[in-house]
Structure 1
Amino acid sequence: MTTAAHSTAHGSIQGTLTQRAGDAPDVGAVLDAVVSTWQTMAAQLEPVIGARGVSVLLNRALYLTVKSYPWMKPTNAQEAAEPMDNLKLRFADRTALEASEAGCALLVTFTELLASLIGESLTERLLACVWQAPSPPFEQDTHHD
């Protein structure tokens, strides 16, 4: 994924998580936002790459994300088999900020892996309906009447 595409994906995913978690999120709200965003992504992708393909990419994304967030590492084989179902266990002792950063990193990593498999353009088209577009930067009105 190009740097610009990574930046766009990160901004879109972060915007989506922020919107879904609310204005003053707690860890539970962040977790719900991550899981609901993931479920929407998976629903979009399963018809294209299959449930097994989605699962394999998620497990790889989790493996890569754990390098930056070691506390996200699954503690047993059953937990590793269903990473999103057991995410609550790993987020329980974290702050909302830690959960948001780690959840965003996991979804961005997943998106990057998907893009490396099927291409950036197709990834963007398949997931565009999932993500909240990042807000444009504030621009002052310099037009004076």
Structure 2
Amino acid sequence: MDTALTPIIGQQGVVALYRRSLHLCASTHPSLTRTCDKMPAGMDLTALPSVLVEQSETNALFFGEVLLTTFYELLTTLIGPSLTARLLRDVWKPSLSDTPSQENSP
């Protein structure tokens, strides 16, 4: 997301969105406050794994989902859903290891 958004809103804009997303995560989900508080002041994503490893797998997945969803929704309120979808199209694509939905049936 940083790579896709920096040319549009600048590095400081991306960091501001990230920090605001952390703040909203903590205020919306009080159970995430401790995790959000441990995040470095900037957008140091290399520190993220060390914070998440302290969490249970369930809590780490929940934190990641809430943070990404909050970031996406916040960006959508600022630049609109169409532009957000276009800018982050490659970020939201399922990975090659994901099972296609038509293969999920028993």
Cα separation, 1, equivalents of 2:88 and 2:43: 22
**Residues 48-73 of structure 1: per-residue CA shift (max 9 Å, x gap):** 11111100000000111123111213
Taking only aligned residues, the RMSD between alpha carbons, in angstroms, comes to: 2.4
Fraction of identical pairs, as percent = 34
TM-score w.r.t. the length of structure 2 is 0.77
For residue 34 of structure 2, what is the aligned residue in structure 1? 71
Alignment check: 8 A CA contact 1:74 1:83 kept: no
* Cα pair distance change 1:99/1:75, threshold 3 Å: closer
Once the two structures are TM-superposed, the CA of residue 137 in structure 1 deviates from its matched residue by: 6.4
Residues 137 and 55 from structure 1, CA distance in 2 versus in 1: closer, same or farther, beyond 3 angstroms? same
**Structure 2 residue 18 is matched with structure 1 residue 58:** yes
**Contact between 1:71 and 1:90, CA under 8 Å: does it hold in 2?**
no
- How many residue pairs get matched? 98
Provide the C-alpha distance between the structure 1 equivalents of 2:63 and 2:38, rounded to a whole number of angstroms. Answer: 17
- 1:2-21 paired onto structure 2 within 5 Å: none
**Which consecutive residues of structure 1, in runs of 5 or more, have no partner in the other structure?**
1-40, 141-145
The one-letter amino acid of 1:63's match is H
1:128 equivalent to 2:89? Answer yes
User: CA offsets, 1:68-98, max 9 Å, x none?
Assistant: 111213248xx22345343234323211121
Q: 2:2·2:14 contact (CA, 8 Å) conserved in 1?
A: yes
* SS state at 1:62 partner: helix
Identify the structure with bigger relative contact order (alpha carbons < 8 Å, sequence gap 6+).
Answer: 1
**Preserved contact between residue 18 and residue 43 of structure 2 (Cα < 8 Å):** no
5 Å-filtered alignment, 1:1-145, equals 41-67=1-27, 68=29, 69-75=32-38, 79-133=40-94, 135-136=100-101
Amino acid at match of 1:81: G
Structure 2, gaps ≥5 residues long? none
